[in-house]
Amino acid sequence: MRIAIGSDHRGWQVKTRLIKVLQDAGHEMVDLGTNSSDSVDYPDIAAAVSSRVSEGAVERGILICGTGIGMSISANKFPGVRAATCQDAFVAEMSRRHNDVNVLCLGGDLLGERLVDDLVGIWLKTEFEGGRHGRRIDKIEQLER
């Protein structure tokens, strides 16, 4: 899978490690920054990742900031992007099964390495169920118009 990934200064170490884990699993990663602890504005990173998801240049995106909340708010401004902050396995799975979430937002200050790996793994392998959930996604897309 082709995945765009980005973080602010509070998530860059998680992002750097996650890129290697996902590349080792066979995914093509597009790193959109940042790459240091120097302060950056998370909406800029969210825009870089979300615009690529929105235009179809990548299949999915992953964003990491301190809590994941600011990234999620910013990412959801882009047409076709369905971003969610996930902090446990159930939410990560349901975000895909029922909401077809295509941008995963994580809190770099809140989650340990093992949990991040578990959440990303669940999120990547879980398929969208469609059916009644597809009808609801269609309604969300109508709101964007």
Catalytic residues: 65, 98
Q: What spatial distance separates the first Cα and last Cα of the chain, rounded to whole Å?
A: 28
What long-range pairs does 118-121 form, CB within 8 A, spacing at least 24? 118/89, 119/86, 119/87, 119/88, 119/89, 119/92, 120/18, 120/21, 120/22, 120/62, 120/92
- Cα distance between residue 17 and residue 26, in whole Å: 15
Q: What angle do CA 131, 81, 130 make, to 5 degrees?
A: 10
